[in-house]
Amino acid sequence: MTLSRRSALALPALAGSVALSRPGASQAGGGVLRIAMSANLRNLDPAKMTIGEEFAHAIFVFNGLTRMKLDQSVEPELAESWSYSDDLKTWEFKLRRGVKFHHGREMTAADVIRSYERILDPATGAPSRSNYDMIEKMEAPDPYTVIFRLSYAYGGFADILSDRQVKIVPADKVDELNTHPIGTGPFVFRSYTPGDRIVYARNPDYWEAGPRFDGVEMRILPEMSVRLAALQAGDLDVVWDLGPENIRALREVRNVRTESVPTASWDGAILNNSMAPFNDVRVRRALHLAVPKGDVAEVVLFGEGAPTHSPIAPNHPFFAGDIPFPARADIQGARRLLREAGHTTIRVPLVIPVGRPVRERLGVTLQQMARPAGFEFEIQRVPFARYSAEVAGKVPAYIDGYFARPTIDTSTFPFLHSRGSQNTRLWVYNEPKVDAALEAARLTGDPAVQKTHYVAMQRAMVDNPPGYIAYAQKFACAYRSAVKDVQTHPMRWFDLRAGYIGS
């Protein structure tokens, strides 16, 4: 067996996506950062997390073996380097030495293995478990080395270890994680009062430079209007996850700034390929001709997003930027495809989620823009909390969307491969060219080769679209101007390591 080491991964122990320096004594205190979130956290255990507020919590308290940078590439975190075999089925990770959990014990390979055993154990109920089904065996030849043996070749294995849910936890404290989470991260959990706040303190023994904040308070405020009023009054420092309409409203507010970053989170119309009329590709293609995606992004997101062909974000290196988006509606072309499919008019319900204003707006926009081509969508409103039980996989057409996944493979394979775990309950899509491209991309560790396969996938999706993926969203937050050097991350969290409260 030959292990190939990627030279870019042999990085210093303090490698990071931000150039950090430990502040001097006069600057040691960076203030307490007050962040407003919209919902209570149901899970403090990273393995069980499902919502954005929980993922933000995970970044404060925990670390993973690898970490996604702002440009969506991956770098070492608790692993200082890694290597892999020529057949991509054996991966060896070298761990940082001297990293301590919040309760004082050093992290070792045994903790890493226990953390992944929990993810793979069905009893844990980890939502990301299926992403790691290739892990066949784990070994620890010494306290600072972990070897993963895979059941099939997987070129993006180091990338998926950056996922929000696969954090390293202490093997001796796993039963306490949902009440008193302990990790190796920059902040130490102190308390959680549901409906009010979560309190964190700076980790004085953090293994890399930072953080400068003395602590963080995550305040639970369900109403956006309340969050924004508190921010403008100076009672909050950060408002998480602005809607596009909020970004516009805040641009002229003094002492407040907004920051937005492109993401791979997307919204669209889920069209069930096993149900009439969308079991005919000509009907699905007709909808694309009738409704230009650029216009949809402008109307629905007020320009705070970009059209896309697939779950690959337009700013990602694998995005097929040479595939054009129609600049205007082709109503005659859409009508021609419908006639070829045996239709003059398509009358079908379009379910939209109550309580998701952007997706509600998308549904109404599609209804209006598709009507001239012969699509008569009847809007049906269903509370989002009932979507999983009553809508997904049970109706011909509905509006939904998905947050960005940690890698291109996890953003595409489950959703688009004919055997994908999400595809089989969403659009039931079956395109052999897409299957072949997704499978081939897993069999190489070379990004240039991976790109050729993902571009081929996107071309096949234009010819045979599974549904109508409208746009990739931006993730936006609002900050008091006194908040310095906090970075907004495309995976919908914050990088706080260099941040502080200034004047």
User: Taking the CA atoms of the chain, what radius of gyration do you get in angstroms?
Assistant: 23
Partners of 193 in the beta sheet?
197
Burial of 252 (0-12, 13-18, 19+ CB in 10 A): exposed
Answer yes or no: do 126 and 271 share one domain.
no
Residue entry with tokens 């926009």 = 365
Tell me the pTM: 0.83
The answer to whether residue 280 is domain-embedded is yes
| Mean pLDDT (whole number) for 210-216 | 96
Instruction: Give tens-digit pLDDT for 49-92.
Output: 988 899 999 999 999 999 998 877 899 999 999 999 999 999 99
Closest by Cα among 436, 445, 440, 450 to 155: 445
Q: How many C-beta neighbours within 10 Å does residue 328 have?
A: 8
Residue 250's Cβ-side half-sphere holds a number of Cα atoms within 13 Å equal to: 27
Answer yes or no: do 322 and 459 share one domain.
yes
Q: How many C-beta neighbours within 10 Å does residue 191 have?
A: 11
Instruction: Give tens-digit pLDDT for 261-320.
Output: 989 899 999 999 999 999 999 999 999 999 999 999 999 999 899 999 999 988 888 999
Q: Name the amino acid, one letter, at 257.
A: R
Specify the pLDDT at position 135.
Answer: 98
Which residues make Cβ contacts (< 8 Å) with residue 448, sequence separation at least 6? none
Query: Pairing mode, if any, of strands 487-489 and 79-85?
Result: unpaired
Answer yes or no: do 169 and 69 share one domain.
yes
Answer yes or no: do 61 and 169 share one domain.
yes
- In the listed set 148, 178, 208, which residue is the last one of a domain according to the structure? 178
Instruction: Give tens-digit pLDDT for 433-447.
Output: 999 999 999 999 888
The answer to whether residue 350 is domain-embedded is yes
Answer yes or no: do 283 and 425 share one domain.
yes
Q: Name the amino acid, one letter, at 128.
A: S
Q: Is 254 left (phi over 0), alpha (psi -120 to 50) or beta?
A: beta
The answer to whether residue 500 is domain-embedded is no
Three-state DSSP class for residue 159 = helix
- In the listed set 146, 178, 210, which residue is the last one of a domain according to the structure? 178
Domain count across the chain: 2
Instruction: Give tens-digit pLDDT for 223-233.
Output: 999 999 999 99
Answer yes or no: do 162 and 292 share one domain.
no
| Backbone φ, ψ for residue 313 (5° rounding) | -70, 145
Range of the domain at 416: 263-474
Closest by Cα among 69, 84, 74 to 146: 84
Q: Looking at residue 430, which CATH number applies to its domain?
A: 3.10.105.10
Q: Looking at residue 71, which CATH number applies to its domain?
A: 3.90.76.10
Cβ–Cβ < 8 Å for 377, 350: yes
The answer to whether residue 35 is domain-embedded is no
DSSP letters for 409-442: HHHHHHHHSTT-TTGGGTT----HHHHHHHHHHT
Give how far Cα 270 sits from Cα of 396, 402, 415, Å: 8, 11, 11
Helix and strand totals (H; E) in the chain? 13, 22
**What does pLDDT average to over the chain?**
92
Answer yes or no: do 457 and 333 share one domain.
yes
Q: Name the amino acid, one letter, at 502.
A: G
Residue entry with tokens 């991976």 = 450
- In the listed set 157, 178, 199, which residue is the last one of a domain according to the structure? 178
Answer yes or no: do 423 and 292 share one domain.
yes
